[in-house]
Amino acid sequence: DAASEELRCAELGARLIVRGDPDYPDLLASIHDPPLVLYVQGCLRERPPVAFVGTRAPTPYGRRMARRLSGEASRRGLTVVSGLARGIDAEAHLAALDAKGPTWAVLGTGLGCVYPAENRQLARRIVAEGGAVISERPLETKPLPELFPRRNRIVAGLSWAVVVVEGRHRSGSLITARLAAEYGREVLAVPGPADSVMSEAPHRLIAEGAAMATGVEDIVGALPEGRILEPALPLSPASGFAAPAEGPAPTEEEARVLALLGADALSLDELVQLSGLDTTRISSIMFGLELKERVSSVPGQRYAQKEAY
């Protein structure tokens, strides 16, 4: 019941974020089927998120590429998103942590039933080191096969881009990639040896038009303008989070949206209506303006120019 779920939340150090709350991630809210609620342990700190997904049984090459790309992405100021599965997911999370950056793990189970069990310590480390473990499921939900494809939409929905690192021709990572494309996000794939069955999924995506990811610059270059602040932000020794920096000047499109705000606070829906742009594009613009410290979120899931509040 609700009382026992609330007590268990407190025991796990988790909180419940309902769609419409100011803390609910804007990118995820913009997809056509966002979760009604998120159970979250840790911090959903808004560094630009990029997902890394792939096989549970990677080759040494796949492990090496997942670690290199995820670690470099983290050092460039990105949040690494993945699903806490064996293989590529775990490698991506570990590389981000080793680079002293946050990482988000999206579960197909409840937070009280982390799966696989071998990654429970990794989940605890993610939370302890400034990242987050996330689920839409009640806390004690056990692992069921049908839950994991639904989890993949959250991985894709949270992220500006999805990078596929190894997988067979029917890999679950293809589901995440196709959802990302459906949501208007960038899809990248790491090319592999032509004679490896684990290259089937990424090579299929590349043949269908996905960008190749052989280095972090491929990932950075695929993100919407303004997603990365150069150089990478220094980390605060006290918090482990990126220290604030003065953002660059707004783009022409961002300036037009700032003009719409004026001295008023407006919701995402109001900005969509006034600008004529779609929700995904407005979410992208507002995220860029927050990074540049030109706007801030205010109660009621609205945005205001910083000097106005």
β-pairing verdict for 266-267 and 132-135: unpaired
Structure confidence by residue, pLDDT tens digits, 232-243: 333 333 323 233
pLDDT of residue 231: 36
Domains and CATH numbers, the chain: 2-222 (3.40.50.450), 252-308 (1.10.10.10)
pLDDT of residue 177: 96
Quick one: tokens of 212? 């190749």
Structure confidence by residue, pLDDT tens digits, 107-130: 999 999 999 999 999 999 999 999
Least confident of 31-45, 57-71, 161-175, 282-296: 282-296
- DSSP helix/strand/coil, 52: strand
Structure confidence by residue, pLDDT tens digits, 173-225: 999 999 999 999 999 999 999 999 999 999 999 999 999 999 999 999 998 86
Helices marked H in the chain — which ranges? 2-12, 26-29, 60-75, 88-98, 120-128, 147-158, 172-182, 200-207, 216-222, 252-261, 268-275, 279-291
Instruction: Determine what percent of the chain is predicted with pLDDT higher than 70.
Output: 85
User: Could you tell me if 50 and 160 are in contact, meaning their C-beta atoms sit under 8 angstroms apart?
Assistant: yes
Q: First and final CA of the chain: distance in angstroms?
A: 40
Task: Enter the pTM of the model.
Answer: 0.73
Question: Would you say residue 307 has pLDDT above 60?
Answer: no
* Paired strand residues for 134: 40, 106
Look over the chain and give the mean of its residue pLDDT values, rounded to a whole number: 85
